[in-house]
Chains A and B, each alone.
Chain A
Amino acid sequence: MKKIAVLLSCLALSCAAATGAAAAEKLRLGYLRSDLHHLAAWVAIEKGFFRDEGLDVEVAGIFNAGAEEMSAFASKSLDVGYLGMAPSITGVANRAAAVKAAALANAEGSAIVVKAGSPARSLKDLAGKTIAIPGYASVQDFLFRRALESAGMDAKAVTIIVIKPPEMLAALETGQIEAFIAWEPHATKAVTKGVGRVLLRSSEIWKGHPCCVVAFEEAVVKSRPAVLRSFLKAHARATAFILANADEAVRIGVQYTGMDEATVRAALGNITYRSELERAPILEYASYLTRLGYIKETDPEALLREYIEPSGLIRESRP
């Protein structure tokens, strides 16, 4: 009888402990499948950085494209997500979902890859060829068109088609496309697999360009500012961790992308992990999206006010 009483009180105690843990702030997180740009999220989960901030972060969605993740925001299935700057601005401008960017996830980290045996030495050599992008209004769409522009080429000089990154490698291998632009580790994977060669890194297209962001659903921003701050603290800590602990970062990257260590290690070298947003490059994204007809924004300043969360991690650009 005594034993049972002890057992019961243990049970009661553990229940109390459980409810204590449940009192942590719940957050539903989304990120893109095998996108090494979102490593900070995986590090914060694996290293318990979210827990340390009193957050109970649940992975509520893993997506193939930023636009899909924005749909999940629209259906109120996510509180916070890692995704590209381009799809998130597009979604805000087109009133698809109300999110606010509060931090940068990474800068740079994409590349234009041609076939391993391709004679192409510059973008000009791709004239008349078929090139795959991961989606319209994606960061890579933007980068590719910008690269064409700086090479003095018209967008019509090439055939642009949409293929999702996991299928790009096979399309390149079988000669259906001449080149693709993708985020890491897909670009490096083509190289380590011996299928592709990097023609142009995104850092060469636009030095230091912002890429993915941490975006929050409007409701979180409005009613749970403390949760937002805690999340950003964990995010910044994870970003710093990646910079200081390359080996452990690679291990976590391998675990979440399912790719081999050599690929992940090489890919990490092409990504700049940084957590602060800057206004000027975001403005550039917005005006580009307008120019291409993806969004109808006439006042980019107003769009930025709607898109950037002022209490987020922001670096004031020098005038």
Chain B
Amino acid sequence: MSGGPRSYRLLHLLPVVAVALLWEGLGAAGIVPENRLPPPSRVLGGLAELISRGLPPGSGLLGHCAASLRRVLGGVGAALAVAIPLGLLLGRSARLRSLAHPFVELTRPIPPLAWVPLAILWFGIGDLSAVFIIFLGAFFPILLNTIAGVLSIERGLVESAVLLGAGRRDLFLKVLAPGATPAIFTGVRIAVGVGWMTLVAAEFTGVKSGYGLGYMIMTARDIQRADQIVAGMLVIGLIGFAIDALIRAAEGRLLRWR
């Protein structure tokens, strides 16, 4: 802890500030035209307007954040609920694994966005569509990491648990699940990232509530405000950063035993 966490953090911010200053300078010098990439000062102005006036006017930034967060959490949550149990099962049984293999490997390479037209047919243009698309994007990273996590557990450990008379339930809950947790966390972090990526694109195709960060960026494109487009991107980046930090904190807490 020498130097203290505070000064350490400030040190980390330094390159960010330097890049922002350089970016601002390039804009001010006219090297990077404002209509291609607005300087940070303009982006902050756009951000302030997103908060005060909203985009489309009347739809505030907080509402957009809440709608997008809800969709991402819904999609990733559903993926967790399905992919973790399935992953534990597939990790445990080689036979099930080989049975599932063609299905997994056939659907996994399909980009979630290719599902958009079908999603709209099945679930309409509401939240459910976006949740479904995010679910598809988040599902495979969690599934594959869970399987890998189970496979990484020392074989002897599993065998002895069985020999010592562990029931099915105990085996899954007390041996396989905890053993696979580090890998599952890796999967979740990837899944949330993929979730945000697919969310924005899913919202580009239209949402019914009129709220969502992707929808907001599309609106900024419609009215041709590059500063607000970049401000929207910045907001997504910040939220993604915060969520990742939260997951890592939870990981550190849950895996203290390591």
Nearest B residue (CB) for A95: B35
Nearest B residue (CB) for A168: B206
- The reply to whether the CB of B51 lies closer than 8 angstroms to some CB of chain A is no
Question: Distance (Å) between the CB of A115 and the closest chain B CB?
Answer: 15
Q: Which residues of B contact A130 (CB under 8 A)?
A: 208
- The reply to whether the CB of A81 lies closer than 8 angstroms to some CB of chain B is no
Contact A90 B124 (CB under 8 A): no
- The reply to whether the CB of B82 lies closer than 8 angstroms to some CB of chain A is no
Question: Distance (Å) between the CB of B215 and the closest chain A CB?
Answer: 8
- Given A162-B218, A293-B53: A90 and B224 interface contact (C-beta under 8 Å): yes
Question: Distance (Å) between the CB of A30 and the closest chain B CB?
Answer: 15
Contact B57 A74 (CB under 8 A): no
Question: CB-CB contacts of A136-153 with B at 8 A, as 1s and 0s?
Answer: 111000000000000000
Chain B: residues with Cβ within 8 Å of the partner, total of 24
Chain A: residues with Cβ within 8 Å of the partner, total of 35
A294 to B54, CA, bound (A): 11
Contact A159 B222 (CB under 8 A): no
A74 to B223, CA, bound (A): 14
Contact B223 A136 (CB under 8 A): yes
Q: Which residues of B contact A91 (CB under 8 A)?
A: 224
Contact A87 B210 (CB under 8 A): no
Q: Which residues of B contact A160 (CB under 8 A)?
A: 210
- The reply to whether the CB of A9 lies closer than 8 angstroms to some CB of chain B is no
- The reply to whether the CB of A125 lies closer than 8 angstroms to some CB of chain B is no
- Given A136-B219, A292-B57: A161 and B35 interface contact (C-beta under 8 Å): no
Contact A159 B35 (CB under 8 A): no
- The reply to whether the CB of A75 lies closer than 8 angstroms to some CB of chain B is yes
Contact B222 A161 (CB under 8 A): no
Q: Which residues of A contact B225 (CB under 8 A)?
A: 94, 96
A176 to B206, CA, bound (A): 11
- Given A161-B125, A174-B121, A176-B124: A96 and B226 interface contact (C-beta under 8 Å): yes
Q: Which residues of A contact B36 (CB under 8 A)?
A: 74-75
- The reply to whether the CB of B78 lies closer than 8 angstroms to some CB of chain A is no
Question: Distance (Å) between the CB of A236 and the closest chain B CB?
Answer: 29
Question: CB-CB contacts of B189-233 with A at 8 A, as 1s and 0s?
Answer: 000000000000000011110100001001101111110000000
Contact A162 B35 (CB under 8 A): no
Within 8 Å by CB of B210, from A74, A75, A161, lies A161
Q: A74-B35, A132-B206, A167-B206 are in contact. List 17 more A-B contacts (CB 8 A).
A: A65-B222, A67-B223, A67-B224, A70-B224, A87-B224, A94-B224, A95-B35, A96-B35, A135-B222, A136-B223, A162-B206, A162-B219, A167-B205, A171-B125, A176-B125, A293-B57, A294-B223
Residues of A within 8 A of B (CB): 65, 67-68, 70-71, 74-75, 87, 90-91, 94-97, 130, 132, 135-138, 159-164, 167, 170-171, 174, 176, 292-295
Q: List 19 A-B contacts (CB under 8 A).
A: A65-B222, A87-B224, A90-B224, A91-B224, A94-B224, A97-B224, A136-B56, A136-B223, A159-B208, A161-B208, A162-B206, A162-B222, A164-B206, A170-B120, A170-B121, A171-B125, A174-B121, A292-B57, A293-B53
